[in-house]
Amino acid sequence: MADSSNGSSSFWTQGNALLRKNLTFQKRKVKTNIRLISVPFFLCLLLVLLQTVINHELDKPENRCGCICVDAQCHQKNCGIQYSDLDQVSSCPIPNPPEWPPVLQIPAPEYRAVYTDVIPISDLPSESCRRTGSCPVTMLLTGNNKSLGEIFAGNMLKNVFTRDDSDILDNLASNVIMSLKMIQGSESKTEISNFLDPAFFSDLPIYNLQSQCTSNSTFSVDVKETNIIFRQEVRCAQGLRLWRNSSYEVNNELFKGYRKGNIEREINEIVAAYDLQNSNGNNFNISIWYNSTYKNDTGDQPVGLVRVPRSLNLASNAYLQFLQGPGTKMIFEFVKEMPKPETQLRLDVSSLIGTLFFAWVILQLFPVVLASLVYEKQQNLRIMMKMHGLGDGPYWLISYAYFLTISAIYMLCFVVFGSVIGLKFFTLNDYSIQFVFFFIYINLQISLAFLVAAMFSNVKTATVIAYLVVFASGLLGGFLFQFFLEDTSFPRGWLIVLELYPGFALYRGLYEFAQSSFTGNYLGTDGMRWGDLTDSTNGMREVLIIMCFEWLLVLLFAYYVDQVLSSGSGKNPLFFLKKIQKKRPSTFRKSSFQRQDSKVFVQMEKPDVIQEREKVEQLLLEPNINHAIICDNLKKVYPGRDGNPEKFAVRGLSLALPRGECFGMLGPNGAGKTSFISMMIGLTKPTSGAAFVEGLDIRTHMDGIYTSMGVCPQHDLLWETLTGREHLLFYGRLKNLKGSALKQAVEESLKSVNLFYGGVADKHAGKYSGGMKRRLSVAISLIGNPKVVYMDEPSTGLDPASRNNLWNVVKRAKRDRAIILTTHSMEEAEVLCDRLGIFVDGSLQCIGNPKELKARYGGSYVFTMTTSSDHESDVENLAKHLSPNANRIYHISGTQKFELPKHDIRISDVFQAVESAKSRFTVFAWGLADTTLEDVFIKVASGAQAFNVLS
């Protein structure tokens, strides 16, 4: 062992040790990692394949702008709208878009404002006009100067309509020269693009707005645009201009026009309202109200244009005529779309079905992190590390950073790969948004894994449940959550509630990315940009905020749960309220004291045990630095469950161990040895009593004790994929060994437990035999010069040679430290231990060095003789003859064992007696043995148990 004195290791040393171990561990999992990373790889590949197939389908001529061949061999083709059918036309180029007369948006006759008792506005027409469809369309005016307003209103509409064939609509297609005499209006809604204005291509009539309608003002015209001809009806709509005293009144009236439900009596729509404000001869200041929702907005498509320009032109013209007289005109000839190049039908599969796939890909990390965390818990490795000095801080920091790195690399591969093969989902959306989103999400996911890991102790269960959750989250997201998302009537508030579930938050984020890239791809624009986050329909912002908060909360909560639940520290759930914590044990202690003291009196302690107790009391009064371990009346009571009485596992144990001593704990199974060790290594808390290790109290300073403690647990706690050397390097680093000292210590340690030669040290611990694992565990417990070492049955399963070897190690190791060792091998106890205690039913029955014990409890020879069963009584007589106090302790089919007090007999007498017996009857075998420790053990154990049964 290295003799260099090493203090307790720092935060960073511990972190370094854990990090190096994790990296080695990770290196071993290459196959698993490749499998993990290949999942997104294959999924992306699948998407690309699908995309190729779909692109191929879309690229067929029937999906492109129509063409016809000019010559027989089809060397030359003419393409364009005129050769296309309705399916193809949308992809044709439109180099010269048609010009359309500007149209005013007019409410349908059944919605136009009328006087009703619900909306009693006296200057509106009576309701009866709705039946004949002849209601006038209303415009409202207001401003500071009513007389100006009236002149203005008069200029807006012509009084009489005269049908003038030179400028009616059928000229539209060829020569667009629109007369200002007609103000067209339509109740049709605008479309996404106005290449074909729906006003002229729908079943709805075109309205001709006049101040007064006459009988001949309804007629039909043919509208022709390229190869589409539509017969359109032109009707008259009378315009009603009403003055209101203030914009307040206008607002009020407009609001009443809002369609609540479909009760017709409550609908009162107007065309537009004009506020002239402070306009006068020198100043034209107008604001126009119009209905901005009057457009075909089906939700999943971009909105159409709103018909505002005509309204503005109307007002400008009216003002101009007020200034310059009736002859003046400001001609508004046409509105026209921008030219459009030939487009291809494009469908981005990754955006369309990617959301669910990508959600699975990302969620997949969750079981991986969880399994890794639960593995350390299941194998008790976390506690093992803790017992060798790994603090919670470094553990959390390094584990978290470790999983974060793995997740980040995974996500990076995913995004880079997706981008390289050209998935629009990745390439169109801003990478910085993707980075922020994915980064926050993986953090949240890791925190969740830490939290959930506290609930599982079995890797298989945890993994299976986690995969189920992943699968279900994806499906629920895809088929339930998305349904709610797209249902505009679903309350937004509930969506946010749903998004509190991280799986749905992830789904929402991916969904937004997909939507942006889909429309971006469709319209040939960009995907999501930071600016889009301010858009109220974009859920990305709320998702980011939710995930950020959740991440912090979950992380804090996970840490808290870990502190409360992890058996290493097992803090009170209210550990941060120190005061409460202090009160509780003291009250508890009192009651358990009273209950047990009666027992102690009944069960009279042996003088050696009493002496040890006195020594402890003495030591507590006058502390002595020589003693590494002092246990003062340590008790452990397990509360009764299911109607069973309380179980006293340890009933007041007092023990003082100086440095350099190896104390052997013997006892039958279930005697309480393991409970005792568990308390000493901090796995459980004592019910009452105290113990001090190197002067530190195990109830309050366990973390300090861990840095000078070594444990060889009963079951080997090893990482299957790490080698013996790596185990020792890790624990050595935890114990603050560095550089060459570490290397030397590890090598010596490997040599001492016979794991150095033949490449054993560099084999995976999972491939070790039981004995090799045992030896490695012992080596781990001794590395780094711990001051106290607990060994729970260190030599079980070892062959005699290895066991001898191990004994030598322990003998050498005990020189400057205290060792507590439990064993079932009396031979081992005799060889290794300076003192022994026999522990039965929760208390020490005797304590002392092996020789003393043998002398005290032995003091007799065991005489064995085997004869035929006929001569059993002869043998008994023989024994009685040798010593009248002979006591038969064993008897079965001719073999009998007797205890002969040492002071009664001489060995030569026994030989003589046997010789003479042999002459009388046949003796198959005989023997005489000194008492062994085993006899002492059996005697003490059975004596104590018999006593307990009686009491």
Ligand X SMILES: *[C@@H]1O[C@H](CO)[C@@H](O)[C@H](O)[C@H]1NC(C)=O
Write out the residues near ligand X by the rule CB under 6 A: 145, 147-148, 189, 191, 245, 254, 257-259, 269, 277-278, 280-281, 283, 285, 291, 293-294, 296, 298
Q: Per the structure block, which two tokens stand in for 439? A: 């980064």
CA 700/CA 692 separation, integer angstroms: 10
| Secondary structure class of 718 (helix, strand, coil) | coil
In the complex, least distance from residue 241 CB atom to ligand X, rounded to whole angstroms: 16
Contact yes or no for 523/302 (Cβ under 8 A): yes
Q: How far apart are CA 409 and CA 28, in angstroms?
A: 17
What is the DSSP secondary structure assignment for residue 733, as one 8-state letter?
H
Strand partners, 905: none
**Smallest gap from residue 494 Cβ to ligand X (A):** 24
Residue number with CB closer to ligand X (147 or 919): 147
- Least separation in angstroms between residue 88's CB and ligand X is 17
Our CB check for ligand X shows the closer of 191 and 830 to be 191
Residue with tokens 């017969």: 231
Nearer to ligand X, 271 or 650 (CB): 271
Instruction: Report yes or no: 104 and 355 within 8 Å, Cβ to Cβ.
Output: no
Comparison of 280 and 344: residue with beta carbon closer to ligand X: 280
Q: Which amino acid is at 681?
A: I
Residue nearer to ligand X on the CB measure, 250 or 671: 250
- 3 state DSSP class of 732: helix
- In the complex, what is the shortest distance from the CB of residue 517 to ligand X, in angstroms, rounded to a whole number? 22
Closest to ligand X by CB, 293 vs 594, is 293
List of E strands, 659-717: 662-666, 688-693, 696-697, 709-712
**Largest Cα–Cα distance in the chain?**
160
SS3 content of the chain, % helix, strand, coil (to 5): 50, 15, 35
Closer to ligand X by Cβ: residue 294 or 692: 294
Smallest gap from Cβ 315 to ligand X, in A, equals 14
Q: Return the structure tokens found at 52.
A: 């190729």
Q: How far is the CB of 277 from ligand X (least distance, A)?
A: 4
Q: Minimum CB separation from ligand X for residue 29, in Å? A: 53
Interatomic CA distance for residues 159 and 381, integer angstroms: 95
Closer to ligand X by Cβ: residue 88 or 749: 88
> Taking the complex as a whole, how short is the minimal distance between the CB of residue 483 and ligand X, in angstroms?
22
Tell me phi and psi for residue 715, to 5 degrees: -105, 135
Nearer to ligand X among residue 409 and residue 523 (C-beta): 523
Give min distance, CB of 284 to ligand X, in A: 9
Smaller CB separation from ligand X, 240 or 631: 240
- SS3 of residue 422 by DSSP: coil
DSSP result, 526-585: ----GGGGGSTT-THHHHHHHHHHHHHHHHHHHHHHHHHH-TTT---TTTTSHHHHHHHH
Q: Which is nearer to ligand X, 184 or 380 (CB)?
A: 184
In whole angstroms, the minimum distance from the beta carbon of 467 to ligand X comes to 43
Q: In 3-state terms, what secondary structure has residue 778?
A: helix
CA angle in degrees (0–180, nearest 5) for 829-835-836: 60
Q: Which amino acid is at 951?
A: S
**Rounded Cα distance, 150 and 25, in Å:** 88
Nearer to ligand X by Cβ, of 280 and 458: the residue is 280
In this structure, are residues 174 and 77 in contact, taking their beta carbons and an 8 Å threshold? no
Q: How far is the CB of 297 from ligand X (least distance, A)?
A: 8
- Residue 135 CB, nearest distance to ligand X (Å)? 14
Cβ–Cβ < 8 Å for 97, 80: no
